[in-house]
Amino acid sequence: MMTGLAPATLLIFMLATACATLAHLLLGQRWRQLPIFWMTAFVGCLLAYGFGLRFPLELPSPAGVPVLESVLLAWLLLIVVSRLRV
């Protein structure tokens, strides 16, 4: 049998990777920012999942992960971190 990551964990990793990659393309200037952006996006997605942030809309939540809320919080944190001139 194959054991792996839980679906929620895998989805959070994929969302964080997509957000960090796009943020680095749009806002990044140096390669050393990429791991910082990835960690920031991961924390944003994890906070939205951990606190159970939900808009009062009937949006799908695959594996219990609020996708829209996770992406929005990740981008909010990414914009803050990109302005810190890391």
Residue 49: CB partners within 8 Å, gap ≥ 6? 8, 12, 64, 65, 66, 70
Residue with the larger pLDDT of the pair 22 and 28: 22
Q: Quote the pTM value.
A: 0.89
For residues 34 and 19, the answer to whether their CB atoms sit within 8 Å is: no
Beta strands in 10-66 (DSSP E): none
User: What is the tens place of the pLDDT at every residue in 24-71?
Assistant: 999 888 999 999 999 999 999 999 999 988 989 888 899 999 999 999
**Count of H-run helices and E-run strands, the chain:** 3, 0
